[in-house]
Amino acid sequence: MSVWVAEEVMRLALRLCSRRSSWTQSRFLTTVPVQHTSCPSLLSHIWATRQSRPSQVSLVKFYSQDNIQSKEKEVLSIPLIDSAIPAETSSENIHRADYFSDKVKKCASPSDVLDLTCQYACTVRQISNCLTHMWSTTKKMSDEQRTYEMQLMFEHPGFELLLQSATKNVVHMRSEDVAYALLSIINLGVPQRSRVVQTLLRTSQEKLNEFDEKSLSILASCLEHMESSPNASAMKDAMRVVVEAKLPRIKKVLSLQTMMRMLGKDAPLDLKKKLEKKALSMTDQFTLPNTQYMITTMATMGFYSKPLMDVCTKKITENLNGIPFGRLLSVLHSCKELRYRDLNLLTCISDYVTSTLDIWTNKQVHLFLSVFESLNFCPGALMEAYAKRVISFPDVLTLKDLLCVLRVYSSLNYDLQHHKEQFLDSLCQVLDSYLPKISAFNLLKSVYSLCLLGHFPSAPLEQLLQSSSIEQFQSARASVSDSGLVPSS
């Protein structure tokens, strides 16, 4: 009798295990550390599979938050698309796959892709391609259009089906497709604690040893911007071990930099030194964008390497014409974070901005001046050239521009010599125009900066000494004293 019971139990277990589970049970979706979920027992797996077996109707949106799972609300009444169609070995299947891929490439919005997936059953490979193309189309849109298209995407019934297919077939995806699918879904705005994201994340944990350099780089790019959660933290810890083990075999600079940024400031010092050594061995491969990215990567890691900085700054100073404003500014900010003050680099950038001053807007010049001030570097030629622009066109300065210029010029205490009086008169003219609407605190800062420059404007000083301004200062002092930040006397 016992032998017969044992055989029946084993037969039932094998039959249940042979069926593919779609992981709809909420216990598979909670964000728990990987050590609690990586090795479930056979019986618990069978029971979970049996409990979570879906009907032809999806009960919960796959992009809904965890706290919605308990509602068990029916949202779709159409059967799931079985994306695991037979392997594409015949010429007919290959032709169908190529035809579908060509159709996807012609789609101009996420909704177009979803319309296509409702007409044709996706293969496992095509699920990731569809999600990636949906994300790529949104990057080309304006903010307003992107918001509208994303709303249409979330309301489209095909989006639910596509996410269900991704969740159901993720175990059959290649590592690269899993990484791309996870990155695309997160960039499309699907909540990170949703079922589909957590399922992809868990599968990535299980397949992590199979990930090659490209897949690891994609996954690192995804993890860099993920919210803190038990699964995400467990994945980062696992990535740290895998990256360290595979470090000698990394061949691309960009892949290395992406992994460095993902590891961040929490990486152990010995691992940061190994990454530095690897980066130094690849300096002959550095392109101009690589050098800029390496400096910002070191700032993200909170790791200063003088040999790497010297290599990067040398290449940057030799190719300033090829660097756009945003990247140049980020390099300067990163130098500030790393407390790296290379006078040759700062002088070259200052001279370059001065020689091309006509192509920069006032806002861009102010940002350059501000970051130079934070680095305790006085760009004399740039300050001289910009002072002439202010003298010629003082009315273009906004109040924010005025406060920035006054702060920088007074802080760096640059002597404009024979242009000084004209420059200060121009600034006072702008300040007078803003007196009716300037706050007492901004007025105080402006007058303070002008006094440091040796200029004492009468109208701003009179307004500053009015009873209304003094009452604002007294009330502000009283509120600060009540908060306990400063003594009341």
**Contact (Cβ atoms closer than 8 angstroms) between residue 159 and residue 114:** yes
**Contact (Cβ atoms closer than 8 angstroms) between residue 231 and residue 202:** yes
307 pLDDT more than 80: yes
Q: Mean pLDDT over residues 360-371, rounded? A: 95
The range of the structural domain enclosing residue 25 comes to 2-57
Judge whether 386 lies within some domain. Answer: yes
What is the per-residue pLDDT across 320-340, written as a single tens digit (0 to 9) for each? 998 999 999 999 999 999 999
Q: What per-residue confidence (pLDDT) applies to 467? A: 74
Among left, alpha and beta (phi > 0; psi -120 to 50; other), residue 323 is: beta
User: How far is CA 163 from each of CA 123, 193, 376, 412, rounded to the nearest angstrom?
Assistant: 13, 14, 52, 56
Judge whether 20 lies within some domain. Answer: yes
Residue 134: name the closest of 123, 149, 147, 144 by CA: 149
Judge whether 146 lies within some domain. Answer: no
For residue 22, give the amino acid letter. S
Judge whether 231 lies within some domain. Answer: no
Neighbour tally for 431: CB within 10 Å: 23
**Which of 33, 57, 81 is the endpoint of a domain?**
57
| Non-local CB neighbours of 169 within 8 Å, separated by 6+ positions | 83, 84, 124, 127
Judge whether 31 lies within some domain. Answer: yes
Measured in whole angstroms, how far is the alpha carbon of residue 339 from the centre of its chain?
Answer: 24
**Which of 19, 37, 57 is the endpoint of a domain?**
57
Judge whether 449 lies within some domain. Answer: yes
DSSP class of residue 34? H
**Contact (Cβ atoms closer than 8 angstroms) between residue 316 and residue 324:** no
Q: What per-residue confidence (pLDDT) applies to 477? A: 67
What does pTM read for this prediction?
0.74
CA 315 to CA 1: how far, in whole Å?
A: 81
Phi/psi at 42 (nearest 5 deg)? Answer: -65, -45
Q: What per-residue confidence (pLDDT) applies to 15? A: 41
First CA to last CA distance, the chain: 92
What is the per-residue pLDDT across 173-231, written as a single tens digit (0 to 9) for each? 999 999 999 999 999 999 998 999 999 999 999 999 899 999 999 999 999 888 888 88
Judge whether 315 lies within some domain. Answer: no
Judge whether 376 lies within some domain. Answer: yes
Domain count, the chain: 2
Neighbour tally for 407: CB within 10 Å: 19
Range in 39-43, 229-233, 247-251 the model is least confident about: 39-43
